[in-house]
Structure formats: C-alpha cells, structure tokens
Amino acid sequence: MSHNRQPRVFYGYIVVAVAFLIMLMMWGAYYSFGIFFEPLLAEFGWTKATTSGAFSLSFFLTGLLGVFAGKLTDRFGPRIVVTVCGFFLGLGYLLVSQASTLWQLYLFYGVGVALGMSASVIPLQSTVARWFVKRRGVMTGTIISGIGMGMVVVPPVANWLISSYSWRTSYIVVSISALILIVSSAQFLKRDPGKIGQLPYGGNGLEEKGGSLDAGFSLREAIRTWQFWTLGIALLCFTMSEGTILVHIVSHAIGLGISVTNAALIIPIIGGISIPGRILMGIAGDRIGNKPAWTICFIFLTISFFLLLLARELWLVYLFAVIFGFGYGGLSTLISPMVAELFGLSSHGVIFGVIIMFGGTAGMAVGPLLAGHIFDITGRYQLAFMIYVVILVIGLILTSLLKPTRVKT
C-alpha cells in the first residue's frame, strides 16, 4: 500500500475505540475498590490504613511494572502486552474473591491485579501518541475518558452485586468480565500506522524515515533534564490527592452521615464529570498548549479540596465531586501529550512509564495510606485534606515553572 495516500477508514480511530473499551473495564473495576472498602472492613475488622495498603501496594507495583510494559510495547507492540496483562487482571480479581486473610488480599490484589493493570496506561497512551501527530491531545482524552465511563458503569454494578449477593460474588463477575472484554479487544491493537501502510494522522511521511517517530530523548537523556523531575514531582502532588479521594471519599461521606447508597454515587459522579474534563482539556492542550491546560486543572483540584474541607451536606459533597472530577480528568489526559512534547516519541513508552512510576504510582500508593493512617489516629479526614490542599498548591507552582526542552532529532 502506498504511504502517500490514506485509506478511506483511518485505522487509528479503531485503535482509539478499542483502547477506550479496555480503559473502561480496567479502571472501572480498579476504582471500585472504594465500593468494596467498607464490606472488607466489616467482614475482617482490619484498620483503614491496613486495608488501604493493599490498594497502595497495587498502585505502586502497577507503576513499576508499567515501565516494563512500556518498554515491551516499544519493542513488541501493544497487542501482546495487553493480552497477557488482561489475563492476569482477570485471574487477580478471581483470586481476590476467594481471599480470607490479609496477606492474601495483599498478594492477590496488591500483586496479581497490579500485573494486569500494568498495561492500563502506558501501552495504550503510547500507542495512540504514535497514531496521531495532530489531534494527539483530544485522542488521548478520548481513550482515557474510558476511565471516567468505567467509573460511571462499574462501581454502581459492583455495589448492586454486593448488596444483592456478596462482595465475593461481585469480584467474580468483575474478573470474568475483565478477562473477556480486555483480551478480545486487545486483538485489534496495532503498534503504529507503518505496520499497515498508513501514516499518522497529521503526519507528513517523515515518520517512517527516521523522522518524528524516531526523534526524541532516550530515557537516560530525559532523566538528566530538570523538566523530567519537575513534571514528575508535579504529577506526584496530583496523584497523592487523587488516590486519597478514590479510596476514602465514600467512607468519608458515610462518616458525615450520608447514606451508603448516596455515598456510593460519588465515584460515578467523579467519573462521569471526568469525561468532559478529559475531552475538553485534551482539546485545550492542542489549542492553548499543555502547560496552560495543566495549570487550569490544578486550579480546579485545589478549589475542590477547599470545598471538601467545608462540606457537611450531600449537595456540597456532590459539588466537590463535580469540580474534582473535571480537574482530575483533564490533568490525567495531558500527561502523555506533555511527555511527547517535552521528550519526543522515540522512547515515549519507557519515559512515560518512568514518570508514571515516579510521580503517578508513588503518589497513588502513599496518598491513601497516609490518609488512612491520619484517620486511624484522629478519627477524621480533615487533617489529610488540609495537607493535600498545600500539596496541590505546590504542584500548581511547579507546573508554572515548566519550560520546553529542545527535542532531539
């Protein structure tokens, strides 16, 4: 097939659609942990910090293993990587449904689910970055809006299954659904347009001749730049607050006297609002630049935590969820385009993976654990929320300091 003419149907859109479905299932199930949190506490009597630790361990290993998933995707493509990880994810949830001790929860959820989730971000976003030169931001926003849709769909279904049957039955259904959907969808993924004789959307043909797909920093070169560390620490500030909310917000709402049913809707609201946040801020990143768009998202997140400190009634908690969801969705969308903009595409998968491990994973691991520990000591989440207001302001300042790099060619 000629490289000078695009076919009528651009396969990149199929890649985006498939990645959306995979994101929906992976993250919808993963962020349902907050729904399972209270049933686990009720059955086993563990502390909140101890129970949160399983999620923290899982997220830490997800980021660590994601670096290797990114490197394998750069070399072998996403189809094989996502297929294998989809199998481990389904198996992990199945084993969690049979857990009866704390060490089993840590092994099956902390390690097993993490093996599956390692393909949830880096292989998919790195692949989309290769398929689109123009519209990269909005296409990235589209695929990770699958996370938001997953948060809308899966937690309510999981909550219904828990109330109607048991948390164990709920996890069995999640495991089977994840295995079937992810493994079958992964078969449609392709690493880059050149594999089927197409050009990237908005590309000029140089991508296949040592041009933009081969341009950029190696991991070693990127690590030596101050932009790498600034981006990573700013991401850390975001994910500490993100992880705390997604694990503890339902429990916090119940502690305020909100019913379990109403509290369970908070995560779907966050997920639902994150969808326009991801799409609109992806468009904003393409039009006004990724840095200004990231700054806007940090402002939304900081405002949301101020509101959470004051919230005592259901409508205020829901308002928090709306503001937080928009900022959370938008900021998550812009990470991959920022890595591509700062460091190029030649090692995008592994650079993206290391930044996610350093900034994203560490924050998501430490944040819920710290908040749970503070609650176990004080009996309230207020101190934790105050700390995260300060941390988000630090992230906002670091974002303002980011400057472009000179991408290697």
pLDDT digits (tens, 9 = 90+) for 286-302: 888 888 999 999 999 99
CATH number of the domain within which 265 lies: 1.20.1250.20
* Contact of 117 with 124, CB cutoff 8 Å: no
> What does the pLDDT read at residue 394?
94
Q: Which pLDDT band, with edges at 50, 70 and 90, does 396 fall under?
A: very high
How much is the mean pLDDT over the chain? 85
Residue 6 lies in a domain: no
> What does the pLDDT read at residue 61?
87
Residue 1 lies in a domain: no
Residue 278 lies in a domain: yes
**Mean pLDDT confidence for 315-323:** 94
> What does the pLDDT read at residue 1?
42
> What does the pLDDT read at residue 7?
56
> What does the pLDDT read at residue 6?
52
Domain that holds residue 218: 11-401
Residue 89 lies in a domain: yes
Q: Which amino acid would we find at residue 125?
A: Q
Q: Which pLDDT band, with edges at 50, 70 and 90, does 268 fall under?
A: confident
Helix (H) or strand (E) holding 232: helix 226-255
* Contact of 30 with 117, CB cutoff 8 Å: yes
* Contact of 32 with 156, CB cutoff 8 Å: no
Strand partners, 216: 344
Asked if the model's pLDDT at residue 46 lies above 90, the reply is: no
Please give the structure tokens belonging to residue 95: 């084993």
Asked if the model's pLDDT at residue 392 lies above 60, the reply is: yes
For residues 253 and 314, give the distance between their C-alpha atoms in angstroms, rounded to a whole number. Answer: 8
> What does the pLDDT read at residue 190?
85
> What does the pLDDT read at residue 354?
81
> What does the pLDDT read at residue 215?
63
Smallest CA-to-CA distance from 151 within 5, 265, 56 is with 265
Token match 């493994």: residue? Answer: 183
**Mean pLDDT confidence for 83-109:** 93
Question: How far is the CA of 224 from the CAs of 90, 151, 217, 252, 397, in angstroms?
Answer: 38, 37, 10, 41, 21
167-205 pLDDT, tens digit per residue, is 999 999 999 999 999 999 999 988 777 777 777 777 655
pLDDT more than 90, % of the chain: 33
64-82 pLDDT, tens digit per residue, is 888 788 788 878 888 999 9
> What does the pLDDT read at residue 21?
94
Asked if the model's pLDDT at residue 390 lies above 90, the reply is: yes
> What does the pLDDT read at residue 178?
93
Q: Which residue has the higher pLDDT, 85 or 147?
A: 85
Please give the structure tokens belonging to residue 8: 């009528």
Least confident of 113-117, 251-255, 357-361: 357-361
> What does the pLDDT read at residue 17?
92
> What does the pLDDT read at residue 203?
62
For residues 38 and 28, give the distance between their C-alpha atoms in angstroms, rounded to a whole number. Answer: 18
43-57, 92-106, 269-283, 360-374, range with greatest mean pLDDT: 92-106
Q: Which residue has the higher pLDDT, 408 or 276?
A: 276
For residues 347 and 201, give the distance between their C-alpha atoms in angstroms, rounded to a whole number. Answer: 20
Residue 319 lies in a domain: yes
> What does the pLDDT read at residue 76?
83
Asked if the model's pLDDT at residue 83 lies above 50, the reply is: yes
> What does the pLDDT read at residue 66?
80
**Mean pLDDT confidence for 269-276:** 88
For residues 409 and 70, give the distance between their C-alpha atoms in angstroms, rounded to a whole number. Answer: 21
Which 3 state secondary structure label does DSSP give 201?
strand
Residue 5 lies in a domain: no
**Mean pLDDT confidence for 221-231:** 89
Q: Which residue has the higher pLDDT, 298 or 147?
A: 298
Residue 406 lies in a domain: no
Residue 407 lies in a domain: no
Tell me how many domains the chain contains. 1
